């Protein structure tokens, strides 16, 4: 199956046709959306992109589209998290997909919040997903060792970086790796930066897909989708497209 993760930026209203065009071009089977806070927008995107199955809740960032019926879907709000995460099981339980959208802004304090959110999610998953599953979405953080050019951040973020003494210890991705998960994109593309944000000046990787190490061989491909005529009109993020072997 092909799984697409896409942050559609601030609800996506007024950009439904562009978003749907990008999604159609990816030929995905299941799509996990972030910042999809308006169900009517998700419905219009689903219809325009040809997805008969979809789910969204007002004010919730995470939504999904699917070409086939899903076995189950729900939203869960772990203690300490700013947003609920999405839990979707594909038809016949072939794969469990956890949609993720962690707290935004690059600062010491928000990274601490992301760590708490991630630990809450990992604790939940440990009790609910013994089989094949993925974590996918906008993690709003950097992997250890990946650079952040502070000068390219929006001006409004500069005071937060200054208050963080100019340094942020990126821990969220590391605790995910330490929990036994593989960074899908980095495993397949060790030398590629994989920047996903922003589309007009890509310089940071915020969007990820993780699999438990025992299931990492299921990942056949993982790409940042950059080439589409509507990509810059659709959102401020590039989508992340993965091809996962489920049989």
Q: Which domain holds residue 86?
A: 2-244
Q: Residue 207 belongs to a domain with what CATH number?
A: 3.60.10.10
Q: What is the pLDDT along the chain (247 residues), one digit of tens a residue?
A: 999 999 999 999 999 999 999 999 999 999 999 999 999 999 999 999 999 999 999 999 999 999 999 999 999 988 778 899 999 999 988 999 999 999 998 788 889 999 999 999 999 999 886 799 999 999 999 999 898 876 776 676 666 565 554 567 899 999 999 999 999 999 999 999 999 999 999 999 999 999 999 999 999 999 999 999 999 999 999 999 999 999 7
Up-side HSE of residue 182: CA atoms within 13 Å toward CB? 19
Say whether pTM exceeds 0.85. Answer: yes
Query: What pLDDT score was predicted for residue 157?
Result: 60
User: Structurally, how many domains does the chain consist of?
Assistant: 1
Query: What pLDDT score was predicted for residue 166?
Result: 54
Euclidean distance between the first and final Cα of the chain, in Å? 9
Q: CA–CA separation, 122 vs 135, rounded Å?
A: 10
Find, among 75, 91, 76, 90, the residue nearest to 134 by Cα: 90
- For residue 6, the SS3 value is strand
Specify the DSSP element, H or E, that contains 101.
Answer: strand 96-101
């Amino acid at each position: 199956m092909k799984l697409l993760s896409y942050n559609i930026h601030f609800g996506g209203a007024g950009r439904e046709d562009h978003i749907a065009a990008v999604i159609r071009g990816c030929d995905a089977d299941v799509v996990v959306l972030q910042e999809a806070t308006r169900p009517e927008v998700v419905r219009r995107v689903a219809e325009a992109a040809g997805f008969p199955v979809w789910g969204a809740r007002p004010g919730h960032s995470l939504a999904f589209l699917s070409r086939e019926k899903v076995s189950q879907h729900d939203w869960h709000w772990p203690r300490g998290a700013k947003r609920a995460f999405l839990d979707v099981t594909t038809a016949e339980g072939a794969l469990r997909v956890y949609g993720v959208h962690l707290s935004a802004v690059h600062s010491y304090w928000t990274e601490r919040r992301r760590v708490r959110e991630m630990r809450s999610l990992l604790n939940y998953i440990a009790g609910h997903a013994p089989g094949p599953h993925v974590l996918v979405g906008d993690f709003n953080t950097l992997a250890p060792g990946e650079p952040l050019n502070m000068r390219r951040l929006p001006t409004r973020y500069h005071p937060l970086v200054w208050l963080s003494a100019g340094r942020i210890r990126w821990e969220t991705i590391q605790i995910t790796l330490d929990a036994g998960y593989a960074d899908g994109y980095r495993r397949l593309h060790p030398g590629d930066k994989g920047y996903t944000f922003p589309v007009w000046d890509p310089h940071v990787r915020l969007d990820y897909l993780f699999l438990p190490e025992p299931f990492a061989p299921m990942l056949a491909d993982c790409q940042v989708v950059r080439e589409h005529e509507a990509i810059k009109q659709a959102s401020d993020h590039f989508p992340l497209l993965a091809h996962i072997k489920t049989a």
